[in-house]
Structure 1
Amino acid sequence: NIIKIYGISQDPKTKNYIIVLQYAEGGNFNDWINKCYKDFDWNNKLRTLYNIIIGLNEIHQKEMVHRDFHTGNILFEYGYVNQYNDTYISDMGLCGEIGNVDKSKIYGVMSYVAPEVLRGKPYTKAADIYSFGMIMYFVATGRQPFSDRAHDEFLALDICDGISPKIKELEAPKCYVELMKRCWDLDPNNRPNAIEIES
């Protein structure tokens, strides 16, 4: 559930490196959902999230963190809804070992960045789980978190204060919303881990 790297090469003229990755015909989650949301039923939504959490768990089991975990970095094998459509976590360039990541820089899409990271704390597995909660929101609603707001310092301050996206009762089952909100918990110690979510 993590995109495969097949090889690396270097252009002899420009000296630029080229990485050959597994092809994901469906593109990233943002583009895929625009084409497929009307057919994206709860069975497929849960299967998709299960595939994503398996990949995140693989990363965390290696004592690594993704650090740029959002819907633009999740790829679909096929460009349509079907029960065999695998998802892959991509853009592992910022992935790093826990405790050995540069905490002076914040990466990623603001609405997916955990509040403690915005406050300058080290990036942890719990920060990836916060991002997973935002992916759950996207899956349930088809909308990006905080899509109605500018992604500026005011949003960053509100995220640090614990603001979360609004979800209507009918958009998702109660148990789903409860898990999603646990992933968003302001205290990283209260968030579930990838193993707990996977099971």
Structure 2
Amino acid sequence: MFCSQCGRSLSSDARFCPNCGRAAGQAAAQPAVAPPPVQPVQEQVLYVFSASRKYSLFKMVPCYIVFMQDKAVLAYTTPALQKAENERLTQEIKAQGKGFFKGSAAMMSFWSTYGQKYYNMPVQAILAEDPTNALVPYAAVAEVYFRGYSETASSGDDSASVTQGKFRFKLAGGETLEFTHSSSARRDIHDLLTRLFGARLKFKR
């Protein structure tokens, strides 16, 4: 037989290896194997809500409110981000050899479904997309206000009365985040906000 440590030939009645001292028949120590790194669990996105953050009467920035179980992520489509995305998409369209009409259609389709990507993005990736993106922990929210967008046709002519949709986070620290939107007061939105905020929600149809 042979020593499991150094490989030296041993007699059949040897109790120890005369070369390295290891007990005969003792298995060589196996090198420690590091466990695989723990992959962070991606948090579930419950709903991506398209809106515009209202900073003042004349300053509004398109925004996606990414609702999760215990927080919302504000993902702003800033002018800088829009420019970068348009340039990237323009290069892709040119590389694919698309003409003006197909290129325009591709650009419109891209922006019409832009917010869907946030369903599959980790929180840190969303925050890293633009320096203005931010978290809103629900524990810091004192009140949530939602008013649905609506259009009411006027009798006797083709005009319509429009009620702009509004959404508002009132934070416990006193800050208020105001948004406008064009979503009606749908049942699924009402149910989601009620589940997340309970008595803190003021929902107006």
Q: TM-score, normalised by structure 2?
A: 0.24
Larger radius of gyration: 2
Q: TM-score, normalised by structure 1?
A: 0.24
More RCO (CA 8 Å, sep 6+): 1
Larger strand fraction of residues: 2
